[in-house]
Structures are given as C-alpha cells and as structure tokens.
Structure 1
Amino acid sequence: MPFKIILKILLPALLLFVLSIPCIIVFLPAISKHIVQSALGPLPGGRPLDFKVSRLGINNTQISDISFGEDLRLDTIQFSYHMDIKNIISVEKLVMSGLNVTLHLDEKKRIRVSGFSFPQANKLDHPGPAFDPDISAFESYFKYLPAHIILKNSTIFIETGKDRFYIPMQADVQLDRKTRLADMKLSIFPMNQEITVGATANLIQGAVHMRISADRFYPEMLLAMVPGGHQALSKFCGPVNFAIDTKDFSTFYAEVNDLGLAPDPHLKIKFPKISGVLSCDQTAMTLKADGPVQIRSPGIDLGSFKFEILSQIVSGTLDQFSLTLQNETTKTWNMMPKRMALPLSPVDFSDQIQLFAPRFRLSVSGNLEHQTGKLAVTGTDLKSFRHNQAEYTNVLDISGLQVTTEFNGNFGDPESLKHIKFNALIDKIAVQQTMKDKGIQVKGFYFELPVTYPFKDIKAVGRAGAKKVILHDKIAPAVSAELVQTSDVAMDIAGKVRLAELPDLIIDFSARAGLDSSMSPFAKGQINTNQFSITPNTLIPLVPAISGVEAFKFDISAKADFSYINQRINSSADIQVSNGMLNAVESGFSISGISADIHLNDLMVPETLPGQYINIDAFNAGRFNCSNGKIRFSLEDGKSIHIENLKFNWCNGIVSTEAFRLPSEDNTLYLTLYCDRLEMKDLFHQLGAFDAEGGGTLSGRIPVVLKKTEIGFDKGFLFSTPGDGGRILIRNFDKMLTGIPKNTREFSQLDLAGEALKNFEYNWVKLMLNTHGDTLEVNMQLDGKPLSVLPFEYNRTLNSFVRVDAQSPGSNFQGIKLDVNLTLPFNQVIQFGNNLKRIMNP
C-alpha cells in the first residue's frame, strides 16, 4: 500500500521532469539572453545589445545576429570548450565571423561609432593622466580566456560625408594560458592589398614585439580612401615593401623599399631603401630617416642622391625639422633636353648638356611657420653643344661654376613673405661656333639677386657683371650691373660696359626681364653709348687687319632697343657717325667729312630700312678729286648691301649711279657712272692728259668694272651738249708727242691737233674712255675751228699738214674735225683700288 502511494506521487513528478527538459532546452537560449542582458545592465550610449543564441551544446555554443546599434554587427560567435579536471570550463576556440564596424569621420576629424566619439573633446582640451589599468588584477581570469581566437569575413566601413569605403580584415590570436604569452596576426586588405600586423605580448608585462609589414604594396591605390590627400598620394607609386618594428612602443624602426614618386608622368623619383627611427616619450616624438634617391627621366642622367631628414613633433605639432639632399660622387651629369618630356618653356635647347664633377646640396630646416634653407650647385665644367655629324657646334663652355640660393620664410603659406637670394660665380664662359673657334669668352662672371615673394618693394639691390669679355681675342670689356626686383617674377637691370682699349667709350644699358602672366620669359631693354672717337691707336689693337690705313678718325654714338616677347626677338639700333676722316699718305688718297645717321631695324640679321645715308665732304686720290658724296643704301639680311644710289660732285659736275648690290655673285662689280656737265678743263687735268682752260662741259656715262683689285673703264663716252658749243685752250700738249717719230703722218696730225687746241672754238666734243691694264686709252673727237692761223701747210708727200716756219703764211682753217687718241697712265686709280679692296676686305 505505501508503495502504491509513493508510485502515485513519483510517476507524475517523473513525467513533469521529462516534460520540463524539452521546455528548458527550448527556452534556455532566451533565458541565457535575459541573464546576460541583466548582468550587463544598461550599456554606454543607450544602445541596446541584441543577439540570438542559435545553438547551445555541451562542448560548443553559437551566438548569432549580434548587434550594438547600427554601427556594430557580428554574424556569429562560436565557442568550443570542455570541462577540465577541476570542473572549470576551458574555452579552446573562439571564432568570430562577419564582424562589420562602421566608423563615421566628421568634419572635426573625430570618429563616431554607435554613439561613441573619440578622441573626446574634453580629453583633448583637458588632457589628464593617461589611463593605465592594472592588468595584474585580472590575472585570475586569464584561465578563462580562449586559447585560440579567430576573426574572419570581417569588414571595417569608413564614411566621410558622401563617400563610403570598406576595408576587409581577418585576425588570428594564439594564447598560452600558462606562460601568459599571446601571438597575434591581424591582416587588413585596403583596396585589395594586404597589410599585416604581427605582435607577441605578455599579458602581464605588456607587448614584447610588434611588426607591421606589407609586400608589393601600391600606395597610390589608397587615393580614394584619404580625404583631401588625393593630390599628394597620387604622386607616390609602388610596388613597395615596408616593415615597422618595435619592442617597447617608444622606439619604432621602419624600412621602406622601392618607393616611387612621380611628380610628372615623365619624371620618376625612386627611393630604393628608406631607413628610419621614430622615438616617442611623454613630451615629443622624433623621426630620423635617410636613404638613397634615384631620378629617372628621358634625357636625364644625374646619378644617385641621398637624403637625411630629422623632425620633432610636440603636442601633435611639427616643432622642428631639417632636410638634407645631396648627390653621390659621380663624374658627370648628362642631359639631352630634346629627349626630355618635361613641361619646359619652348626654347631651342642644345642637343646635350654636361656638368663635370657635379656637387649638389639642398638643406632646409625650420617648422610649419618658418623655414630657412640653402641650395648649392657646383661643377668644374658645364658644356652645352649640338651634334653636327662628327663635329660639335654652338658650344657653350662654363668653367668653375658655383651657384647658391638662400631662402627663408613660410613656404607653406602662399601669402606670407619669403626672402630668396640667388648667387652665382663663374670663372669663365666660352661661346664657340665650333670646338676650334675661339668665339666669345666671359671671365669672372658674378650674379647676386635678392628676391621677396610675394613681391614687396624693399629696395634691395643685387649685382651682376663680368671682369672681362673676349671676342675672338680682340675685345675685352668689363660689365657691371645693378639688379632690382620689380614684381614676383621680374626685375630691372641697369649697368655699364667699359673697354680698356677704348677708355672714352661708356656703354649704358637698362632692361626689365622676367616671366609674364602666362609664365613665359620676356625681356625688354635699351643700350646707349656716349659719343666717342675711333682712331688707329684705339681700333688697330682690336682689328689688326686695318693697320694699312695710316690715319683715320670717327666720332660715333649709338642707341639700341631690344625685346624678347612671346618667344620672338625684336631689336633695332640708331648709329650716328660724324667728323669722320680717312688718310692714306703712302697710297695718295684721303676722305674727309664722313657722317652718317643709320637706323638698323633688326640686329639679329642685321638689316636696315631703305634710304640710309652716308655723306662724304671730300675724296681725293692723286689728281682725282670728288666732293659732296652721298651714298643711299640699305643693309639686307646681314650678308649684302644694296646701294640704292651713289652720287658725288666731280669736275664741277654731278656723277651718279644706278642701284647695285655688294657683294656680287661672282665678286665682280659692274657699275655705270652717269656724268652730268663735267667741266672739260678739270676732266683733262684729272685724267692726266694736259692742262686746259676755257668753258665747256661734258655729259655721258662711264661703265666701270671692279674685279678683285682691278678698276677699269669699259667703253665710256662723254659728249658736249648738242647745240651748245664753246671755247677751249689746251697747254702742254707737246708732251703727247713724246716718243712719236718726226716726219711721220701720225706726228704731223697730233702736232696739228695740239696747235689747233691752243685756242679752239668747238661745236661739239666727244670722248671715248677704255682701260687696258694700267693704261687709260682716250679717244677725243672735236668739231669746230681754230680761232687763229695755224703754222701748217699741206705736204703732198706725207698726205698731211706739216708745221712750217714763221715766214710761211700758214693755213686758216674754217672748219676742222679732230680725232685724237691718247694713252695715259692709270696707275693711281689702280693703286687706289688695291687699297680700297684691302680696307673693305681685311
């Protein structure tokens, strides 16, 4: 009986227990969730913690759909555990999958996530002691930590305004609960690239070692992930290998290999290996880095450089830094501008530029508010030239080059005032058409220019000049100038040029040069000289070839304008010559009263406009005397002179020419002298024929041939004005009979002509002029009658008139035509031609 009673009580209880087990299994996750939420209490930010226990087992548990607000979500957490011999739950493995964290970056560069914001403003404004919890207080709980923690399929989302970026990540942590050591490996994949963070730590003592590294990393691919850093990061390129190591989190050692920098598509800068150390303490951070630098670009070979940088950061601000960049020792720098693809100004550069024994050093120091620095470039020799087959042409050779630039100011602020000073010293500059040509040499060149940017008119004066300029070993002027900045990229230049050989010559020049609004170079200036005299003592040392001219003097002054605008050179000059004289006593000719006012409209060619004049008061060569000469001409393309008209007074008449060009194609000049009313008595005298008196003029033309050193007349003819006769009296005609045998018809005819011309009234006169070698052949024809009875009678034997004595009545000619051939020496004219040729072609 009692058993039945017990059975009645036990069976319902057992049934209730059996039925309770499924209920517990079904409702245990919900109960567990409630217990956890109650234990945690209200969380910071008022965000609810929501999750679901999807599996609860003896050795493993899975929690899914975990969320803490909208910014923290986790797909699943899996626990693998067991009971140890002390009946303590030991978690062997914790696997988290699908962790998604959304970070919001606001305009103040603070990060917000699920209601949290850090760094917090009050901590920034009122920094207090650092939070340093006592880890040893939790040592008794370390045995409950998982031995293996895995994070996979996780992503960090970063939102900056309208942009949203994501970075996949994964992690693996191994814990040794006995030794309290943890090994962690975290991998993040920004833009599908892997960055690995590896750390070994003692859970009681702290981190033992940490290393951040990446292989074949492309920094330019982070472009889209850095707000405001697009332009800066786009200049860097990979692939890069880097590593950062630390053992105490106060000193970090970094190494970056093969970092590239591309400020221009055609300019590559590479850092093969950068080594750096970052040291931190409670007051500041100090960064030291150094390494080689390589510059690569088409047409540029500069060898290797090395850099060193040191910076100190205090309270998050760059307090002090210094940077040094210098080149490694190398023999030459080589540049081929035409192969370079840099955005250079469109200037016609040489084919090759070489700098021998180059030394380059750039040093900069300061902070964000102010920087100072110095750039120095030196070399034993700088050469620039063109390749013309096997020969170098247009050679520029600069010896002993020293260029320095000093600067200070805030170069990070475009509006702040900056001071820059340029200095250059050069031993010698040589400009040669070919390697064998002596060309132009400049010795002792110096340049110094203080600059402010943005421009401020502080009236700082620089200087420039050269101790000596040598042109083909002939001219040696000294140049000095003052330089004053006039805008951000322009300056005024004013100076003087002096020649030791011409102490009275002073050349003043002034110019403004710089860059225009489109950053193209420009220059505009003027050159003036005082009036100075040129004499043999001053000019022959410079031009030895004119030493054959015994005496000369010219008073000269000049003014020139030049400009270089829009890649075009424009130039012009005005040259005034006065009181000029040229005297060659040995050669027997002289020129006086030379004056000219010449305008050159292009000095680069050079050339002039038509209508330039040279005036000559008098020209004398033996018996040849000319006056009031005027040469109207133009200079063409720098190679030829176009004589538009040559006009002068000769024998009290006028002689002019048609236009001709010098030099001619075959170096032979064919010139026609157009003669108008030349007085016969002066003409006969200057030709060396005989002395004459009386009136009468001749007109016509005389073709002249100048070939090499020879001057000749070719069928020249002169004639009197038709219908306008005159009277002529010729003396000393007897000398024309010298050498002709008497009692000959030729002698009788010349004797009759000479007697008739002693007092002859002519109706017309005609002269024919020709030269043969050093003789002048003159054929003189006259029609008229002698004004007196001639002592001549007809001789039938000679068939000619012959002279008779005074007892004979003679003959009274009512009309006679004389045809006289004369042979005269022409050596004075030929000698003048030789001297003229030597002067014009030294």
Structure 2
Amino acid sequence: MEYDLLLRDGADRELRAVGHARASVEQGEWSASAGCDVNGSVREFVLPQCVLQGEARGNGKQVALQWSLHGKPGALMPGDATIDFGPYRAQGELRGELGGSIAGPIDVRLETVRVRAGDAEGACAALSLSGTVRIAPEIGAELVLQGRNLSVKGKGFRVAGGKLSLPVRFPLETGEWGRLKVARIRAVGRELGSLDLRVRQNRDALDVQGAYLGELLPGLKASVTGRVEPFGSDLVRMRADVDSYELPGGFDLGRLAPQLQGVTGDGILMAWVGFGYGVCGTSAQGEIYLTGGNLHDTENDVHVSGMRLSLYMPDLLTLRSAPLQSVAFDRLDFRGMRFDNGEVLFQAEERGAVVVETVTFDWLGGNIQSMPFRVVPGRDEYDLTLYCSNLRITELLEQLGFADARGEGRVSGRIPVSIRNGVVQFKAAQLQSSPDVGGNLRVRQAENLLAGVPASSPQYVQLRIASEALKDFEYRWAKVTASSNGEMLKVQLQLDGKPAGNLPFQYSRDFGFAEVSAEAEGMNFQGIRLDVNFNLPFDRMLRLRRVFGNNN
C-alpha cells in the first residue's frame, strides 16, 4: 500500500508523509513494514526531508520492532535563538509482551550542532544519545548524552575543546553524575585555563560541580558550582571560588600584565568569579582580595611590603570596577625614600582608564594626600596636587639631601606635580610651619654651605654665620619651597628665629662681622632671618614611566 498523508493544525503545524506499507499474517505470526519520506514544520521547528523505516513482527503477545531514521540538515528557531544542525541518524529496537514491559536500545547520532543567540554562539562537532527506552507499562528512558569538541564564544570570551558525558532520565528526575571537561578558556585576550566538572540532571535543569584549573597563576585551583536551565530565562549561571591561594615567592607579574614585566611579587589571594548567559545576554562579575602582599621592582628600585587589595568588578567583560576600590601597603621603599601606611582608592573604567579618587600615605612623620585624577592609556601628561600635613622639617631636609639634621618642628602645605612622559617634576611647592608654632633645628655638617665659596667673597661671612646658626637654631617660623628647573631641583629654606646660643663672631663699624675663636664670648643674635638656597641633581626626582608613561 502506498500513501500520502498531510497533517495540519493551524498555520504553524504541518507534517507530510509519503511512503508505503505492507502487512501479513501466517500461522499465528504477523509482520508489518513501512517506509516514508517525512518533512514539515511544527512552530519553530523546520524539518527537512527525512527517511523513516520500520519493521514489526509478533507472535501472540510477544512483539518486536526495529526502526531507523535518517535526516538532512535542519534548523530550530525558538524565540530569538537559532539552532542549526547537520545530518542525523537514529535507530532502535523495542521488544516485549503486550500488557507487560516493552523496551529496547536506542542510538541517535548528530554530526554538528550550532546555536546562536544574541552575542553568543555555541557549537558541537558531534552529539550522540544512546541507552534504553521503555514504552510500556509506562514511558521512560535511561540514556547517556555525549558530545565532543564543544565550544562557546561571545563578547570578550571563548570556551573550546569541551567533552561531555551526561546520564539522562525520563520522567525528569535527579540522575547520576556525568562529566564535562573544557580544555581552553580565553577571555580579555588571555588564556585563562581549563575546567574539569561533574554534571547531573536535576529534573529539567543541570547541576554543575567541579574545578577550574588556572593557567596564569601556577597551581591555582578554584571550586566551581553552577546550574544550566535550557528552558529558563537564565540559561547558564556559573561561579568559581578561590578560598586561599598563596602566590609563590618571586612570581613574575609580567605573566598577568605585560607592563609589569620584571616585577615580582607574592601574597595570599581570595577571589570569586560569576558568569551568566540568558535572554538578557552575557554577564560576568568578580571580586579579588590580596593580603600579605610583597612587590619588588629591582630595575626601578621599588619595594613594597604588606600589600592589601580589595577589588570588585561588576563587569569583567569590559574590566570595569565599582567605585572606591582599594589597594594599600604597610611600607614602600623607592630609591632611598620610605613611605608608610599608604592607600589608593580608585575605579577601573572601560578601555583601561583608571580614576584615582585619592592617594594617601605617611611620609616624614606626616601625611600626604592627593585630589582625584584620571589615568588614561596612551596619555603621558598629568597635573595634580599633593597636600602635605605635619611633615618633620628635619627629615624633609635629609630627604632632599640638604643636610643631616636633628630637632623638632613640622611643616604643611601643597606640592603641585607635573608629569610629562613619565618624569615627575615639582611646580612651586610650598611647605611652611603653622603660625606661632616654632621648633628647633640642628644641622650637622652645616659648613657644607660654604662649599665652593671663596673666603674673600662678600657672601662668605654671611654664609659662615648661617652655617654656625644652623648648628642649633630655634625658629619661630619656617618655610620650604621647591621647583624643578631643567635637570635640577631648586630648593629654598627660609627660617625666622635665633641661634640657641652665642655665635663666634664680633661686629665693628669699620670691618663688619669677623669670626673669633671658640673660647671667645661671641655674639648673642636676638633675631635672624635665614634664606638658604641650594640645588639638587635631577636624578633624585621621581621617574614613574611604568605608571604614567606612554605604554603603547
């Protein structure tokens, strides 16, 4: 018998079958066979032409059925997604007793599957479903879904080299654990590592547990949990957690960022990363904490200890962070200078820009703080102001290389800073003591002020008085100014006060000031205004090319 059947239910459901069938009965045994070409569409499912064949036989209550299906490439279009698949074939067998159990093996093979939805695309080179199905006394199945060369790519990420083995049950219930391995994960232009997961059917969803094996950091392992809901608005939700990872000593941070090549560090990391994909697109978030960190940049003579980092990024795909993220340190040594208890509050923006909301640290017994500024990749010109509070004037003079000083007294003020091509220069920095708050200054080797000044010059005696006064000077007011001039730093020290004791000088109208021996009584200066100018080589200035320079 030949037939041509057309089944139609509304405008979006149509199925047509054209084929032949035969049946026979002989001595209590019966047999039947059929074959047909089938095509049509059911809502979003477009079924190209496929060939269905079957052969059944029976004897009394015993029945057996063998069937096969071969199809051409087709497509599904559920919602905004598109699912394309290649040639497929399926075959199976059912055996049993009428009124009892009827079951048998099934094997389905699909060569290629490609899913596109929004900005993401997934693919599988080969997909299979095999196991046992049951049609009586109730419908059920115990199958294993397998796939190889699984891959997913989207905005800013790519997952490749996946392999899946998943037990599936029907009716939908909790199944046995299967396995999913992913060989490569790539995001933000970097190879990030691999996945080794257990997967399990949980009714109409999948539970995921396992581990992420990091590639950027040696020995890094993160626990992974997640859920896949094929029929939910959130198709995929995954999370990876690192409870405590100790970065090995001497680790080259250039593996994480090329501009840090040659910088080494260590510390303890805690972090989590979340990933999601659904009807609203792709999302990724993460948070990282660093404690006990140390950093060493031998080339630039930078050493940092006691580092702490707190960084939350609500959008990892664009590397954008939340405001007021923090990186802090206990101590930073830079070319002979020491800074303590520092903290930088910042926000990372898209395309590598960073808003530095404030910088604060302790220096010379006082505190330094900055106003907000923005660091942009490729930009090499910046202007900012540092506000200084209660710096010890003696330590400031030592830091500037002027003198080995002792005593008391503090200065405050502002330091305008200009950064050009990674070189830091001062622009009319001014620091001075508080009104009516004096101090004491004792400069050892103050006679260095006379270096290069001839004894016969008019300035010699004045500098000689200044050098003797600075050996023990009680000031009522102090001021330090500094500015860059080419390759030199010009510094001026202004003091208003008096020497703590008599100075070895005498004065006459005819000859002016003249020095006397140490045994002489000398003179008691009731008030002196000292203005001392000196220049420092520019190589003592800060050079921060790695931070503010053009890294292109």
Q: 1:385 to 1:688 in 2, by over 3 A?
A: farther
Counterpart position of 2:342: 629
Q: Is the contact between residue 619 and residue 627 of structure 1 (CA under 8 Å) also seen in structure 2? A: yes
Matched, 1:753 2:463: no
Q: Partner amino acid for 1:507?
A: A
Counterpart of 1:827 in structure 2 is: 539
CA distance in 2, matches of 1:782, 1:801: 23
Q: Residue 84 of structure 1 corresponds to which residue in structure 2?
A: none
- Report the Cα distance in structure 2 between the residues aligned to 1:641 and 1:270, rounded to whole angstroms: 62
Counterpart of 2:178 in structure 1 is 462
Q: CA deviation at 1:591?
A: 0.7
C-alpha deviations, 1:389-431, integer Å up to 9, x for none?
xxxxx79686x81111225434699x633223211111x7484
1:143 paired residue number: none
- The answer as to whether partners of 1:504 and 1:533 remain within 8 angstroms in 2 is no
Alpha-carbon distance in structure 2 between the residues aligned to 1:562 and 1:395 = 13
User: 2:125 — aligned with what?
Assistant: 401
Q: CA RMSD in A?
A: 4.4
What's 1:506 paired with?
221
CA shift, 1:783, in A, is 1.1
Q: CA deviation at 1:658?
A: 2.7
Where in structure 2 are the equivalents of 1:281-360 lying within 5 Å? 281-282=25-26, 283-291=29-37, 293=39, 305-312=49-56, 319-327=63-71, 342-344=77-79, 346=80, 358-360=86-88
Change (3 A) 1:382 1:672: same
Q: Structure 1 pair 514/307, CA: closer, same or farther in 2 (3 Å)?
A: same
Aligned-partner SS, 1:830: coil
Match of residue 140, structure 2, among 403, 408, 417: 417
Q: Distance in 1 between matches of 2:152 and 2:277?
A: 23
Return the alpha-carbon distance in structure 1 between the equivalents of residues 516 and 140 of structure 2.
Answer: 114
CA contact (8 A) 1:505 1:531 kept: no
- The answer to whether the Cα contact below 8 Å between 1:461 and 1:482 also exists between their aligned partners in 2 is yes
- Partner amino acid for 1:621? F
Match of residue 24, structure 2, among 252, 258, 280: 280
Structure 1 residues 306 and 281: CA distance shift in structure 2, 3 A: same
Give matches, 1:204-603, under 5 Å: 252=1, 254=2, 256=4, 265=11, 274-282=18-26, 283-291=29-37, 293=39, 305-312=49-56, 319-327=63-71, 342-344=77-79, 346=80, 358-366=86-94, 369-370=102-103, 372-379=105-112, 401-406=125-130, 408-410=132-134, 416-426=139-149, 429=151, 431=153, 440=158, 442-443=160-161, 445-457=162-174, 459-469=175-185, 475=191, 477-487=193-203, 489-499=204-214, 502-515=217-230, 519-535=232-248, 538-539=251-252, 542-543=255-256, 545=258, 548-561=261-274, 567=280, 573-601=286-314, 603=316
Would you say the 8 A contact 2:254–2:260 is kept in 1? no
Deviates more, 1:664-673 or 1:492-501: 664-673
User: Quick one: which amino acid aligns to residue 343 of structure 1?
Assistant: P
Equivalent residues of 1:760, 1:785 under 8 A apart = yes
Normalized per residue, the structure richer in strand is 2
Q: What is the rounded CA distance, in whole Å, between the counterparts of 1:484 and 1:787 in structure 2? A: 85
Three-state SS of the structure 2 residue aligned to 1:281 is strand
The 8 Å contact of residues 111 and 125 in structure 2, kept in 1 or not, is answered as: yes
Check whether the contact 2:416–2:429 (CA below 8 A) recurs between aligned residues.
yes
CA-CA distance at 1:537 after TM superposition: 5.8
Whole-angstrom CA distance in 1 between matches of 2:447 and 2:111: 86
Partners of 1:432 and 1:792 in 2: how far apart? 84
Q: What is the match of residue 815 of structure 1?
A: 527
Structure 2 residues without counterparts, runs of 5 or longer: none
Structure 1: gaps of 5 or more residues: 1-251, 387-393
Would the aligned equivalents of 1:623 and 1:685 in 2 still touch at CA under 8 Å?
no
Q: Distance in 2 between matches of 1:474 and 1:606?
A: 13
SS where residue 460 of structure 1 aligns? strand
Residue type of the partner of 2:427? Answer: D
Are residue 648 (structure 1) and residue 361 (structure 2) matched?
yes
TM (norm. structure 1) is 0.56
Distance in structure 1 (CA, Å) of the matches to 2:477 and 2:463: 19
Tell me, what secondary structure is at the counterpart of 2:255? Answer: coil
Q: CA deviation at 1:456?
A: 3.6
Residue identity opposite 1:765 in structure 2: A
Which deviations, in whole Å up to 9, do the C-alpha atoms of 1:594-648 show, x marking residues without a partner? 0234444554555555454332110111232111112334445685444333221
Relative to 1, partners in 2 of residues 1:431 and 1:568: Cα closer, same or farther, differing over 3 Å?
closer
Rg comparison, structure with higher value: 1
Structure 1 residues 467 and 541, CA, compared in 2 at 3 Å: closer, same or farther? farther
Q: For 1:497, what is the secondary structure of its paired residue?
A: strand
**Letter matched to residue 288 of structure 1:** A
State the Cα deviation string for residues 631-669 of structure 1 (Å, max 9, x = none): 334445685444333221110112222333443995544
How far is 1:507 from its partner? 0.7
Q: Percent identity?
A: 22
In the alignment, the residues of structure 2 paired with residue 468 and residue 525 of structure 1 have an alpha-carbon distance, to the nearest angstrom, of: 16
Following the alignment from structure 1 to structure 2, what is the Cα–Cα distance between the partners of residues 759 and 572? 61
Q: Is contact 2:377-2:551 (8 Å) kept? A: no
The Cα offsets for residues 447-487 of structure 1, whole Å up to 9 and x where unpaired, read as 11112122344x51111112444568854633211112222
Measure, in 1, the Cα distance between the counterparts of 2:9 and 2:446.
96
Say whether the 8 Å CA contact 1:327–1:360 is kept in structure 2. yes
Determine if contact 1:475/1:542 at 8 Å carries over to the other structure: no
1:492 Cα shift? 1.4
Which one has a larger percent helix, Structure 1 or Structure 2?
1
Aligned length: 544
Secondary structure at the aligned position of 1:764 is classed as strand
- d(CA) in 2 for partners of 1:395, 1:562: 13
TM-score by length of 2: 0.82
Change (3 A) 1:266 1:810: farther
Q: Indicate how the Cα distance of structure 1 residues 298 and 485 shifts in structure 2: closer, same or farther if over 3 A, else same.
A: closer
Equivalent residue letter for 2:212: V
SS in 2 for 1:455: coil
Q: Distance in 2 between matches of 1:430 and 1:567?
A: 17
Q: What is the CA-CA distance between 1:563 and the residue it aligns to?
A: 5.7
In 2, Cα distance between the equivalents of 1:830 and 1:354? 60
| Cα distance change on mapping 1:507 and 1:263 into 2, 3 Å | farther
Shift of 1:359: 3.7
CA distance in 1 between partners of 2:183 and 2:479 (Å):
66
State how far apart, in whole Å, the 2-side matches of 1:550 and 1:604 are: 26
